[in-house]
Amino acid sequence: MAIRLGNNCGNCDNMMTDQMCKVHGVKVGSHYTCDSFEMKLELNNDRDCNTCLRFQREDCANPSKAAPGMMCSVWAPLSVSA
């Protein structure tokens, strides 16, 4: 199963730059989420072979098919930010 982005405050469009939640008016962090979660638009479509840690490595599950725009079930993030 491919790794996915977590639906947490850190990826939520409602979290402002000072970490305040627009909906609740309190400081939040990536350990939290709620029913008003909205994924930041710029993070929605960044999963393909180009952003996969395994691209052009021996542990790629589909080396003959891997290409930008493709993706398989063992996708793993190339870089991690917290």
Q: For the chain, how many helices (H) and strands (E)?
A: 0, 0
CA distance linking residue 1 with residue 11, whole number of Å:
21
Task: Please pick, from the candidates 72, 79, 81, 82, the single residue that binds ligand SF4 as defined by CB under 6 A.
Answer: 72
Task: Please pick, from the candidates 1, 3, 5, 14, the single residue that binds ligand SF4 as defined by CB under 6 A.
Answer: 14
CA distance linking residue 31 with residue 7, whole number of Å:
10
CA distance linking residue 14 with residue 27, whole number of Å:
11
Determine, following the binding rule CB under 6 A, whether residue 33 of this chain makes contact with ligand SF4: yes
Count of residues of this chain found to bind ligand SF4 when the rule CB under 6 A is applied: 26
Binding site for ligand SF4 (CB under 6 A): 9, 12, 14-15, 21, 23-24, 28, 32-34, 36-37, 49, 52, 54-55, 60-62, 66, 70-72, 74-75
